[in-house]
Structure 1
Amino acid sequence: MKKALLAVLFAAFAAPAFAQEKTFELKISHWVPASHPLQKSLEDWAAAVEKASGGTIKSRVFPAQQLGKAFDHYDMARDGIADVTYVNPGYQPGRFPIMGAGELPFLMSDAKGGSMGLDAWYRKYAEKEMKDVKFCLAFVHTPSSLHTRTKKVVVPDDIKGMKIRPADATIANFVTQLGGTNVQSSAPEVRDIIERGVADGVFFPAGSLVLFGVDKVTKFHIDAPMYVTTFVFVINKDKYNEMSERQKKAVDDNCNTEAAGRVGEFWGKFEDAGIDKVKAQSGQDVYALTPEQVALWKKASEPLIKTWGDGVRKTGVDPDAALTELRASLAKYNALTP
């Protein structure tokens, strides 16, 4: 009898409290097409938050740069143009130097484990590096490679004299170091710059290569896990701070390492399937690298660690310790390249 009475009293007090909560409709913005797997990941994220909030936090996803350019998405969340955004930190070289560790070539072997390892490691650094937004989660796509139009690239020296669209700031440094020229563009613009001859090739995951039609303007494709690109979901701080404690918990419960793994795994499977689609096309040259060739690429990439470390040291963080921590986190989630 007492338990029943307590339950009735709790319901009587709790229901009005929930009813008085402010309702939200979050604007979630990204810059890839609605056909990209990220669209479903963001829709699933929004649905999970809505359910956990008792229906008081709803969302609408805006794909394909509807609310702003790809390069602007971090600032869009900071300034409240959107409430939740998808960001490639490497689109703004030098702004997020610590996160750049995840971009180092030949570091990660798996999209799901890489996402979880990166996310778990970066959480303490996000408070320093992305303090003007609420950090939600970090993730990566599947380890990917280089695709070119007129020249087959096998060893690092082949990059000399080429115009390459890099995946991120670290790969841009790599291209420069190897004697190439960087051509900056967002992912949706890649096909156009290659088709017009502005760029000779692109570092891109294979599934996205097909999705964006870049396979129609490239012929040579390295089939080797050379690099990943890091991404984050971030949230406008003011909007988050307006929420009740219960609503904040609904968001926080979907901004964690497990959620990062789900996003990375789903996207990773999409990209992994892309290489077979390219192989099935006539006129495409998809080729693996020999162990000796991989060793040359790894050797050539070693100076990038120092370049990354120099940038991180300026923030007051010890780059050697940070990279050791990242490697340990990736190993924990079985995603560290041997």
Structure 2
Amino acid sequence: MTNFTRRSVMAGIGAAVALPAYLKKANAAEVTLKLHAMLPAPAPMNTQFFEPWIKEIQDASNGAIAVQLYPSMQLGGKPPQLADQVRQGICDITWTLPVYTPDRFPVAETLALPFMVTNAEKTSVVMHKLMDEFGQGEYDGIKTLAFHTHDGGKLHTRNGLIKTTEDLKGLKLRAPNQATGELLASLGAETVFFPVTEMVVGLSNGVIDGCCLPYEVVPAFKLQELTKFTSAPAPAERGLYANTFALIMNQRAYEGLSDDLRGVIDAHSGMALSERIGKQFDTFEAKGKQVVIDQGNTIGEIPSETLSEWREKAAPIYDKWIEKLNASGHDGAAIVARANALLDGAA
């Protein structure tokens, strides 16, 4: 073997030794992470977010990380159990709503109060900042990957637009969470709480007159066929409500990865991911609205003066929430004030 050849071989060996572990095992997964999801496989959250995100992680790790998606609660249990499932290691990653376990993650629930949403992208960034500043201890023992919200909810009804408080009186409405239900009840509506999957039956048989949901939910449940009117806040106003979401990972699964592979997870999580999911939900929202338009339904605007009246009615709900945050060891007034400031554009 010539000196040139020998040097080339040795250099190649040295380079191989220097490569990160995941590059030396291209296309051979070192670890497979189980992602447990509540929605059916065809849901846009799975096909348009999770599947591309999973592929990005796989490609960035050169195949060393595989993520297996289990939709429709295939690993068992019910959606409110997902946070515990990831903590216990039943799954490695999950996507869940803090409101599914009321009062357990109060900082993360704060933006689910009425009128705490602009659009999904901006409000998701606000939520991530709020959690960084006040909510780090809420997910103790869990690796948090992203936080986000959907766009503001609208009132979808069978028999007429909602433009005044009087229009709500006596309406039977399915509420999306406890705080929004309290607000609607204070305005004269009769609110009921049941899973969104039961909402279709309720609208079909007349048990409820409408519901409060974002447009993005419309296509999945064919709300454009079950309701004929949508009432949305005036464009300059905040949305009626938004539920909050957390993308979380088992801490032991994260810490068990090599430094290189933890770096891959870190590069595909955090503030940028929260913003990205929020932007994705704004896209879902636009598509849902177009479905309503194409159906020929009537879309109306809830005037600013009506919304001002409703926001005054929401004041006791905020006070009650501040007390709840205080009881959890937080400065409730500071959290709510900071959330409002961020929504209004503070840095």
**The TM-score by the shorter chain falls in which range?**
0.7 to 0.9
Are the structure 2 counterparts of residues 35 and 183 from structure 1 closer, same or farther at C-alpha, using a change threshold of 3 Å?
Answer: same
Note if 1:295 corresponds to 2:308.
yes
Note if 1:250 corresponds to 2:258.
no
Note if 1:281 corresponds to 2:298.
no
- Maintained 8 Å contact 1:148/1:220: yes
Alignment partners' CA distance in 2, 1:53 and 1:234? 19
Note the 1:89-238 alignment, pairs <5 A.
89-150=98-159, 152-224=161-233, 225-238=239-252
Superposed CA offset, 1:119-138 (max 9, x none):
12213444321224221110
Are the structure 2 counterparts of residues 18 and 153 from structure 1 closer, same or farther at C-alpha, using a change threshold of 3 Å?
Answer: same
Q: What residue in structure 2 maps to residue 60 of structure 1?
A: 68
Alignment partners' CA distance in 1, 2:346 and 2:74? 35
Q: What residue in structure 1 maps to residue 279 of structure 2?
A: 265
Question: 1:157, CA displacement in angstroms?
Answer: 4.9
Q: What is the DSSP-based 3-state SS (H/G/I as helix, E as strand, rest coil) of the residue aligned with 1:288?
A: strand
Letter in 2 for 1:210: P
- Maintained 8 Å contact 1:100/1:308: no
Letter in 1 for 2:118: S
Superposed CA offset, 1:266-315 (max 9, x none):
12111123223213324x33211122222222222222211211111111
Q: What residue in structure 1 maps to residue 44 of structure 2?
A: 37
Q: How many residues align?
A: 332
Alignment partners' CA distance in 2, 1:299 and 1:69? 36
Letter in 1 for 2:14: L
Q: TM-score, normalised by structure 1?
A: 0.86
CA RMSD between the two structures: 2.9
- Maintained 8 Å contact 1:70/1:186: no
Note if 1:312 corresponds to 2:325.
yes
Q: What is the DSSP-based 3-state SS (H/G/I as helix, E as strand, rest coil) of the residue aligned with 1:231?
A: strand
Are the structure 2 counterparts of residues 156 and 5 from structure 1 closer, same or farther at C-alpha, using a change threshold of 3 Å?
Answer: farther
Letter in 2 for 1:9: G
Structure with greater Cα Rg: 2
Q: What residue in structure 1 maps to residue 56 of structure 2?
A: 48
Percent identical among aligned pairs is: 25
Are the structure 2 counterparts of residues 128 and 180 from structure 1 closer, same or farther at C-alpha, using a change threshold of 3 Å?
Answer: farther
Alignment partners' CA distance in 2, 1:193 and 1:169? 19
Gaps of 5+ in 2: 234-238
Q: What residue in structure 2 maps to residue 325 of structure 1?
A: 338
Are the structure 2 counterparts of residues 251 and 126 from structure 1 closer, same or farther at C-alpha, using a change threshold of 3 Å?
Answer: farther
Are the structure 2 counterparts of residues 188 and 254 from structure 1 closer, same or farther at C-alpha, using a change threshold of 3 Å?
Answer: farther
Q: What residue in structure 2 maps to residue 9 of structure 1?
A: 14
Q: What is the DSSP-based 3-state SS (H/G/I as helix, E as strand, rest coil) of the residue aligned with 1:317?
A: coil
- Maintained 8 Å contact 1:29/1:62: yes
Letter in 2 for 1:274: G
Q: What is the DSSP-based 3-state SS (H/G/I as helix, E as strand, rest coil) of the residue aligned with 2:295?
A: coil
Question: 1:181, CA displacement in angstroms?
Answer: 4.4
Letter in 1 for 2:313: A
Question: 1:58, CA displacement in angstroms?
Answer: 0.8
